[in-house]
Amino acid sequence: MIIGVLALQGDVREHLHALTECDAQARPVRRPAELESVDALVIPGGESTTMSKLAAEFDLLDPIRKRIAGGMPAYGSCAGMIMLATNVLDGRPDQRGFDGIEMTVRRNAFGRQVDSFESPVEIDGIEGDPFHAVFIRAPWVESVGADVEVLGQVTTGEAAGRIVAVRRGDVLATSFHPELTGDLRLHRYFVDLVRNAA
């Protein structure tokens, strides 16, 4: 089982490290041929408009869409969540994504870089204490399709009730950055999901 990390921009190294710590074989993906060699794909945090542009320039946009539509497991954190959404609010008009989860997300919903924050979030399917979630210019989910499961919401502050973790089948997305915390539970959850899909 090989899990790729989309290596165009963003927290690539951190995701590769977390996946390796979870006993998964992980490798960067920058080209269509590299995409063909993986069983699943992580789309990291970063800058979603830049990621969209680079995915088109590297001829990865349509191949990734087709792989996900064909059943390839995928996980997106922060910008990766935006890339997996079918509808993006406050994005650029020419921004395109992978249409992996029927949901509407709002870019930078929690504010600018200076508004970044950390908060405990309980995630359905993740045992133990609430997940220590790091939000950096993060999106939130405005609405989801009928087949999308809400896994986590903010529980405190002005953003209480906002959706920050979702799953549709073997496609997972979070608004926050588990790759920056050292808590491997979400990566293990995804690795298990990939193993079960195989």
The token duo for 80 is 């990766």
* Nearest alpha-carbon partner for 171 in 157, 151, 185: 151
Catalytic residues, by residue number, are 78, 177, 179
Task: Give the Å distances, CA to CA, from 41 to 4, 30, 112, 114, 164.
Answer: 5, 11, 28, 30, 20
CB 14 within 8 A of CB 37: no
CB 4 within 8 A of CB 26: yes
